[in-house]
Structures are given as structure tokens and as C-alpha cells.
Amino acid sequence: MKDMLQSPTRRQLLSMIGKTAGATAMYQAMTTLGFASESTFQESMELEGAPPGASIIVLGAGLGGLTAAYELRQAGYNVKVLEFQNRGGGRSWTLNSGDRYTELGGAEVTCDFEEGNYFNGGPWRLPSHHYAVFHYCKKFGVEMQPFIQTNDRAYLHRTNHFGGVPQRLGDVKNDIQGNIAELMSKVVNVGGLDRSVNTEDKEKLLEGLKGWGVLDKDYRYRASNATSKHRGYSVLPGGGLMPTETPSKPLPMSEILDSGMWSDIYSNHMTYAHQPTMFQPVGGMGKIGDAFTRECRDMIEFNAKVTKIHQDETGVTVSYVDSNNPEGTVKTVRADWCVCNIPLTVLTQLDINVSKPMKQAMAAVPYDTSYKVGLEFKRRFWEEDEWIYGGLTYTNMPITQIAYPSEDMFKDGTGVLLGAYGFGATSYKFNTLTPQERINVALAYGKYIHPQYPKEFRTGTSVVWHRIPWTLGCYGIWSESSRKQHYDTLCSIDNRIVLTGEHCSHIPAWQEGAILSGIDAANRLHKKAKMLG
């Protein structure tokens, strides 16, 4: 009893705030308590005064590398970028009609969508607080549009609950809210909060719970016209002599709890990184990589596979070959400094002479695995049949989730769904499948949520990140202990070499992390270069 009466810890308080008031209130509380703060990103770097004739070689034309290349050239450096692929942008990548690539194992993945449709194989949404991304998008003319993360018309699906029938997310959330309000009102009425609230506050709390949970006069959450104004109707209100509206029936609380929906409905909707409003580039996430590439195009040599990185006291020499002809002539380029944007999964396999602590840091960061399947359908049935416009459906089947496009709403003709997206153990299973098998699996599971799949399917494509030759994984994974032991070393300037990329950030897996690391690397390298003259 004594422990129950003690004041909550800050962590417990934040957890309670998050669960009851949402992520926004929790983040505001975190800021107040010193756990979080706004980004320190400043829009203008204004680097200048590069030592006369100073040169920099950037390895990898991902967003981290191109950010550093762009800013360092602005400062006056001679910059050259080597890129393994025939394009820039790295994981800022969109598959469009006619695109194809070869994955590890030799299988060719094609994209046969109709012109104008696309699939984001990598990043696909942008939090509104990723200021650095938006700074460069605005600077480079990348048009943005809202990305709909949360849609109560989408579904929660559980194979062993609700009779296997998909439930509208809004219905489930309202039923949770109503049942919790009913339980809390019972606690108030039996005096369970007498130590915490006075009589006047108790009356206010009961009145608030009644409205918040849509409770009846006896403080019960039951099917009624009032609850249906929140969770929807079995028969919708009409006009004239149409059938009278019929209240929908709330789901039993026990079944909602048994379904394990907390991680889907609340963890995915309430994290700071996924708060509305989110955004996406018009035409696909690859538009960001395209814009950076356009701005840096004259610095980039494509199809350049780095084979060796050697530094000495005066500079860095990089050996490379044509990635389309690895057995061909070895070329070399030398510069005073090197910014390395190569993913650690690849970099650790190269001949590079960095310090022992740096090699240990590079080897300490494994990469997570992830899979995505894009499905094109003959018509946008999710809109026409089910009134779903954007948002995500969650399921406990291996496809994990289905995401509905936030663009081209109400358009006649074809449309593309993200038909499967996940991480972890299931991802390893997807990695073992052929490109066609991934599509077949996504269709086989997805039809339990959308029976229209078999009739309306047109074509599909996919990405499994551990089979992508130029990354060998999705993004760097840091544990608390590995970050404490190796992060500062990984980000340090090792003689003449500095690393950049999302793995050199506190926001791994996000483009913001890559760009911020590029900014920071450019700043620190510029300071060291000026100091050494």
C-alpha cells in the first residue's frame, strides 16, 4: 500500500501522460522535464574559406554524402563523388514504371506499373519536425503533399479474434475509450480516488468521463445513437424514406484486450516520429534523392565501385572500378580529405586503413532487415468499396500492414498499395522468397482483409533490403551499450577520413539522420581543414 501511495517517477508519469493524453502531450512534458528538446538545425551553414586548392572525395551519393558534398563545394573545396549505382539518392529511392534491378542471388526485380504509379522501396513518409529534410526540399524545389498516417476507416485485423473479420480502427479506439471511461467512473463512484480528488473534482471528473467515453446516464458504455456518432452505424443515416439509422454494436472489451492491439493502434499512432501531419514528396520519395543529385551532378561519377581506401598524413587515395565491369581497369583518385557515406555493411568488407577503434566501431553496428511489397490493382477498390483514403491497416499476418496511397485520391483506374511491410524474423522469411513468391504471399494474406485482391490485382514489385547489393541491410541498429562505447568514435575524424550517413546519427533509418550527419561531418571537416591550412 505504501508503494502505491508514493509519487510516480518521471518515467512513470510520462508513460501515464502518453497513454491518456497522447504523444504530443507526452513530448511537451518530456521537454519540460528535460528529456527532449527541439532540433538545433540551422537553415544556413554558410561555410566559407576553404584552404586554396583543397580537395575532398565523397564516397557514396546517398543523402548524407550529397549533403556534405553540396555544402563543402559551397565553401570552396574541389569535390568529387564516387557512386556505386547509376543514380544518386541512396535509399531515397522510388521504383517507377519500367524500372528493374538485380538483387543478391541474381534474381531480377521488375516494376511494370502503369505510367504515373510508383512504389517507395525505402523511406516513404516524413515527420513534420524533420527540419533539415524540408530545408533542402524547399531549397531544391521538391514539392510536398500530406501523407496520411492515421485513418480510422482503415482496419485492425486479427486472424484469431473478432471472427477473423477486419475491424475499423476508429471502432476499436472508441470502444477502448468507452470501456476505460466506464471502468474509471466505477473507480470514482466507489471512492477509489478519494485520496487524490475532492468531491467537486470527482463530479467534474465523472462528467468529463461521461462525455469522453460517451457513457449513458448510469455511466455505462452501450450501443446507442450517441456511441454511433463516434464509432459509426450499422445502418447509416439517410434521407427521405431511406431506412432509419441503426446503432452499431461495440466490441467486447475482453476480446479487444485479447487481440493485443496496443502495439498497433497506440504505439504506431502515438509515437513522436509519426504524429500528424506527415508529408511525402509529390511523385515519390525518390524525388528528394533526384533533387540532391541534380544539384551535385557535375561532381558525381556513377557506376564507381570502391575497392580500397588508403590514407596517409597528407591525403586519401581511393581505388575503384566500373561496377558494371568489376574485373576491368582499376582507377584511382586522390584528395586531401575523404567523406565516406558507404553503408557499414559494405564498408567493413573493404580494404581501408583506419585506426583500430574506428574499425571496431564500424563492425559494432549491424543492420536491420526489412521487406516491402508493392501491389498495383486495376481500380482503387479501397476507396470505391470501403471509403478508405490513406492510412494504414494493421494485421498479425506476416504482411504486418497495408498502407493506402495518400496521392491521386478519387482517380479512376489503377492504384498501388503497400501490400506488405515489416521487420525482424518475418523479414528473414521474405528474404528467402523469389520476387514473384513475395507478391504471391502478399496477395494470399491480403485477400483476408480485402477480398477484392484476386479479381483486381494487376502486377507487383518488392524490395527485401538484405538482398540489395549496395546496402546489404535496411539501416544501422544501435543498442544503448554499443552507442555508448562506439558512437563518438564512429563519428570522429579519423586522420583524413570522416564517416556520414544515417548510421552516424541519433535518428537511424530516417533521411533526417543522414542529412544531419552530412551537415555535421562537413562542419567538423571544414574546421579541421582550415586549422591545418
At residue 29, the pLDDT reads 44
Question: Are the CB atoms for 403 and 419 separated by under 8 Å?
Answer: no
Out of 2.60.40.290, 3.30.505.10, 3.40.109.10, 3.90.660.10, which CATH number does the structure's domain 95-154+277-284+368-467 have? 3.90.660.10
At residue 33, the pLDDT reads 39
Q: DSSP letter at 126?
A: B
At residue 501, the pLDDT reads 98
At residue 269, the pLDDT reads 64
Angle between helices 199-212 and 169-189 (to 10 degrees): 160
Q: Where are the domains of the chain?
A: 2-32, 55-89+294-364+477-532, 95-154+277-284+368-467, 169-259
Quote the cell numbers at residue 296: 551535385
Which residues, in sequence order, are CB contacts of 27 under 8 Å at separation 6+? 36, 272
Of 468, 371, 466, the C-alpha closest to 421 is: 371
Question: Are the CB atoms for 525 and 337 separated by under 8 Å?
Answer: yes
Question: Are the CB atoms for 182 and 158 separated by under 8 Å?
Answer: no
At residue 113, the pLDDT reads 98
What confidence tens digit (pLDDT) does each residue in 51-77 have?
Answer: 999 999 999 999 999 999 999 999 999
At residue 31, the pLDDT reads 39
| C-alpha neighbours within 13 Å on the C-beta side of residue 83 | 25
How far apart CA 12 and CA 16 sit, in angstroms, is 6
Q: Does the predicted TM-score (pTM) go above 0.85?
A: yes
Angle between helices 131-140 and 286-296 (to 10 degrees): 60
Quote the cell numbers at residue 499: 564517416
At residue 241, the pLDDT reads 92
Question: Are the CB atoms for 305 and 83 separated by under 8 Å?
Answer: no
Strands annotated E in 89-196: 94-96, 100-102, 108-110, 118-120, 144-147, 155-157, 167-168
Alpha-carbon separation of residue 169 from 25, 262, 393, 518 (angstroms): 22, 12, 8, 39
Of 135, 104, 130, the C-alpha closest to 509 is: 130
Written as tens digits, the pLDDT of the chain (533 aa) is 333 334 444 444 444 444 444 443 444 444 333 333 445 676 667 789 999 999 999 999 999 999 999 999 999 999 999 999 999 999 999 999 999 999 999 999 999 999 999 999 999 999 999 999 999 999 999 999 999 999 999 999 999 999 999 999 999 999 999 999 999 898 888 887 777 778 888 889 899 999 999 999 999 999 999 999 999 999 999 999 999 999 999 999 999 888 988 878 776 667 888 888 999 999 999 999 999 999 999 999 999 999 999 999 999 999 999 999 999 999 999 999 999 999 999 999 999 999 999 999 999 999 999 999 999 999 999 999 999 999 999 999 999 999 999 999 999 999 999 999 998 888 999 999 999 999 999 999 999 999 999 999 999 999 999 999 999 999 999 999 999 999 999 999 999 999 999 999 999 999 999 999 999 999 999 999 999 97
Which residues, in sequence order, are CB contacts of 35 under 8 Å at separation 6+? 10, 14
- C-beta neighbour count of 283 within 10 angstroms: 16
169-259 CATH: 1.20.1440.240
Class of domain 55-89+294-364+477-532: alpha beta
At residue 44, the pLDDT reads 65
At residue 30, the pLDDT reads 42
Of 514, 466, 471, 474, the C-alpha closest to 349 is: 471
